[in-house]
Amino acid sequence: MKNPCITLQGKKQLSGVLPFLLSVFFAQPSFASSEANLVLPNLKDAALASFLGGMTGWQLLAYGLLVCLAGLVFGAVIYGQVKSRPVHRSMAEVSELIYETCKTYMQTQGKFILLLEVFIGIIIVAYFGWVQHMAVGEVVLILAFSLVGIAGSFGVAWFGIRINTLANSRTAFASLEGKAFPVYSIPMKSGISVGMMLISTELLIMLCIMLFISPELAGKCFIGFAIGESLGAAALRIAGGIFTKIADIGSDLMKIVFKVKEDDPRNPGVIADCTGDNAGDSVGPTADGFETYGVTGVALISFILLAVPEAAVQVQLLVWIFVMRVMMIVASGISYIGNEMVMKAKFGNAAGFDFEAPLTSLVWVTSIVSLLITFIVSKLLIGNIAIGGKMYADLWWQLSLIITFGTLAGAIIPEVVKVFTSVNSRHVREVVTASREGGASLNILSGLTAGNFSAFWMGVVIVGLMTGAYLVSQGDLAQVINPDPAKATVMAAVFSFGLVAFGFLGMGPVTIAVDSYGPVTDNAQSVYELSTIEQIPGIEREIKDSFGIAIDFDKAKALLEENDGCGNTFKATAKPVLIGTAVVGAATMVFSIIMLLTNGLTDNVSHLSMLHPPFLLGLITGGATIFWFSGASTQAVSTGAYRAVEFIKLNMKLDEGSTKANVEDSKRVVAICTLYAQKGMFNIFLAVFFGTLACAFIEPFFFIGYLISLAIIGLYQAVFMANAGGAWDNAKKVVETELRAKGTELHAASVIGDTVGDPFKDTSSVAMNPIIKFTTLFGLLAVEMAVGLVAQGQQGLAWGLAAVFLVLNLVFVYRSFYGMRIEHQ
């Protein structure tokens, strides 16, 4: 099928595969619209658009750099406050051991990601260098920005584990005084520091591309940057999710096998579990958040440049979007400071309080502040916008309202998630009740039920918010986005969906903060036990003399366990926000690909229908991929956990003189987790890589159906798995803290349910987010390479390459199970 958006001029057809490929690579195609030809408008041209009394878009966004730097300083100051908190040496030593194992893990993963970058780099060079025939220096620049994307994901993830491993020991020590507020405030400080550093770094890089890279190259650099950060996030999410759940299951099952307490120091799996808390619950989400924020921005930029023909409108929309992003940093900082002041006045001296209350308050306060800032700044920026001599007086509030649907989602979705995962949830209570008589069997069935119901209601919420955005978009936005009314209706709707995804991330620092809260609270409990502080001779007198604290061990343990339940809940609430953003944002990116394939919605639009067989087949294939991925990631966890349990059972020393596990045994468990995390990630990533190429080369509209199905089915599968896992996790927490039933049959049932939920909530579900975005972004390059072949009349060759890629895809799909099977040794 010839694609009309591509023309190849003056090139003689060559016979033979190799000569033909050379002719393709060195041809000079002219794309009517292509992400390789995305050219940013001149932001310095006041004649196109000016703001706030004559300021150019470039000048206004330059001030945004200062806000980003202020956000970095804010994060650094909070980091210093956490580091300076008092801590006993026994706890500091444990947290440093955890950090050292995390460092080793990160260094290993960094090398592995660079290996995977080779595969991506080959496609980037082939497309931009050979197919697009760009200069060597330009291709190198695009490659460099893909490395910047990887470095960004990797760097913020590393910062996250560093501050979290400082905060875990400080939180554990703060609990000794028996006051609840410090046990809450230290993980919160750690979280907001990560959130502010992450969002500020991301926005700083994107603003630098927009302001300091030439307009002809900026669009290409955005694509390279986004692909790089997607690669980094996908690899760290997959590997981290596999690692953490191998360690978690290996550690948890010992409670049943040997009837030992949580985080027993004699268990060599506990250090690996603590490392996994950071690898899976800190590294993965941080890299994922960095990528999500960036890719959503790139999707909107690509859409604006492809769909909006008027340069003046492009400038107005681009500047408005980036100013909104800058102001969200301000909104999060203000909200955090204000919320902390109120919470300290309210709970500062309280012996106990509901740990969920201040986090819920922060989320809603930030949402409201973001909403107000959005309307105020939009009015100042585009309140009197005139395009083509016509005034659009309502555009400012309509755009603000569309973003508000997303901002509200950032607050509403966590509330919906808590209905199914909070320790106070009726669904979680039902899991506990079912376990009393039905054991692990009914525990698991009740959790599955909670997950299924949650997916339904999450869909209702997202559809409702997107519907509201769609209806509002049909006002002034539809009039300014494109001069063709038929196209404008569709384009305004899709752009509004992208803005909803943007609004999801409007309070990005706070979303990341409440997610990062969880691994600190989880680790704090472990650090307390591993420090064996209760057994240190004369510890009460030592801490009284050195820190002026009167120790209350029982109260400390109760506070840490209760706060861990809160951390579990808010880890669960952040996941659907990121997953929802991936799906809603993917809609915008997929539409950008549709714009390329249909020459701006003028040709082959009828192929976007189930009446076009390849499109229908693509829909079916995307769903199959989601279920393969769920199984492959769980298989890696199952096999790794089997090996970890096998080793731990052989090396668990419970004799009377043993107080701690051998350090070498603990490192061996970490090595087992790392090995299977890497094996699983390698098979999964290459299956996704070659699968994307195969689907893009089979037929362009087959690929569109594939991407749509991948996003929609992935959304429901991910939400189902994440919230089922969250329900099982907190059901166990209720049994352990509220019912104090450790060591009973009820506890054993809840532990088994939790181990089933582990890969559900922290491996398979969360990794779908970066997989969806990576496939969509990488697909931009893959599908254009494919249609280049078809444009030369070489449909057979395109199918031949598709067959090669499909075989490679199936090889790694096969390896993801049969190469990872549990085999008795």
pLDDT digits (tens, 9 = 90+) for 358-376: 999 999 999 999 999 999 9
In this prediction, residue 825 carries a pLDDT of 60
* Residue 2 scores a pLDDT above 60: no
In the three-class reduction of DSSP (H, G, I as helix; E, B as strand; rest coil), residue 648 is classed as: helix
Rounded Cα distance, 567 and 577, in Å: 16
* Residue 743 scores a pLDDT above 90: no
Mean pLDDT of 189-202: 95
* The pair of three-digit structure tokens given for residue 490, joined into one six-digit string: 């569709």
In this prediction, residue 367 carries a pLDDT of 92
* Residue 77 scores a pLDDT above 50: yes
In this prediction, residue 14 carries a pLDDT of 32
In this prediction, residue 36 carries a pLDDT of 56
In this prediction, residue 35 carries a pLDDT of 55
Mean pLDDT of 214-226: 91
Nearest to 232 by CA among 308, 324, 326, 150: 150
Conformational region of residue 332, where left means phi above 0, alpha means psi within -120 to 50, and beta covers everything else: alpha
Please enumerate in sequence order all residues whose Cβ is within 8 A of that of 533, keeping only pairs 6 or more positions apart, or say none: 88, 90, 91, 176, 539
Higher pLDDT, 21 or 572: 572
In the block, residue with structure tokens 């990797």: 154
* Residue 683 CB-half CA count within 13 A: 25
Nearest to 119 by CA among 634, 709, 781, 799: 781
* Residue 131 scores a pLDDT above 70: yes
- pLDDT, mean over the chain: 88
Rounded Cα distance, 334 and 340, in Å: 10
Mean pLDDT of 714-739: 93
Render pLDDT for 504-539 as a digit per residue (tens, 0 to 9).
877 889 988 998 998 999 899 999 999 999 999 999
Mean pLDDT of 548-569: 90
Higher pLDDT, 173 or 586: 173
In this prediction, residue 48 carries a pLDDT of 87
Nearest to 584 by CA among 669, 493, 663, 652: 493
In this prediction, residue 5 carries a pLDDT of 37
φ/ψ of 505, rounded to 5, equals -95, 5
* Residue 31 scores a pLDDT above 60: no
Mean pLDDT of 52-63: 91
Higher pLDDT, 780 or 687: 687
Rounded Cα distance, 126 and 27, in Å: 12
Render pLDDT for 329-359 as a digit per residue (tens, 0 to 9).
999 999 999 999 999 999 998 889 999 999 9
Render pLDDT for 384-397 as a digit per residue (tens, 0 to 9).
887 777 888 899 99
In this prediction, residue 23 carries a pLDDT of 37
In this prediction, residue 465 carries a pLDDT of 92
In the three-class reduction of DSSP (H, G, I as helix; E, B as strand; rest coil), residue 387 is classed as: strand
* Residue 263 scores a pLDDT above 80: no
Beta bridge partners of 55: 51
In this prediction, residue 580 carries a pLDDT of 82
Own/partner pairs for 48-54, CB < 8 Å, 24+ apart? 48/311, 48/312, 48/315, 49/312, 49/315, 49/316, 49/319, 51/319, 51/381, 52/380, 52/381
Contact in structure between 501 and 584 (CB atoms under 8 Å): yes
Q: What are the residue ranges of helices labelled H in 738-794?
A: 745-759, 765-791
Work out the pLDDT band at 13, boundaries 50, 70, 90: very low
Rounded Cα distance, 83 and 385, in Å: 48
Render pLDDT for 442-464 as a digit per residue (tens, 0 to 9).
999 999 999 999 999 999 999 99
* Residue 238 CB-half CA count within 13 A: 33
* Residue 320 scores a pLDDT above 70: yes
Please enumerate in sequence order all residues whose Cβ is within 8 A of that of 270, keeping only pairs 6 or more positions apart, or say none: 251, 263, 264, 526, 529, 530, 661, 666
In this prediction, residue 654 carries a pLDDT of 81
In this prediction, residue 777 carries a pLDDT of 85
Work out the pLDDT band at 17, boundaries 50, 70, 90: very low
Higher pLDDT, 581 or 747: 747
Beta bridge partners of 610: none
Mean pLDDT of 602-608: 88
Work out the pLDDT band at 1, boundaries 50, 70, 90: very low
- Work out the percent of the chain whose per-residue pLDDT is above 90: 60
Amino acid at the residue 635: Q
Query: In Å, how far from its chain's centre is CA 377?
Result: 28
- Work out the percent of the chain whose per-residue pLDDT is above 70: 95
* Residue 7 scores a pLDDT above 70: no
* Residue 582 scores a pLDDT above 80: no
Mean pLDDT of 68-81: 96
Cβ neighbours, 10 Å, residue 350: 10
In this prediction, residue 18 carries a pLDDT of 36
- The angle at the Cα of 38, spanning 37 to 44, to the nearest 5 degrees, equals 130
Mean pLDDT of 38-64: 90
Conformational region of residue 439, where left means phi above 0, alpha means psi within -120 to 50, and beta covers everything else: left
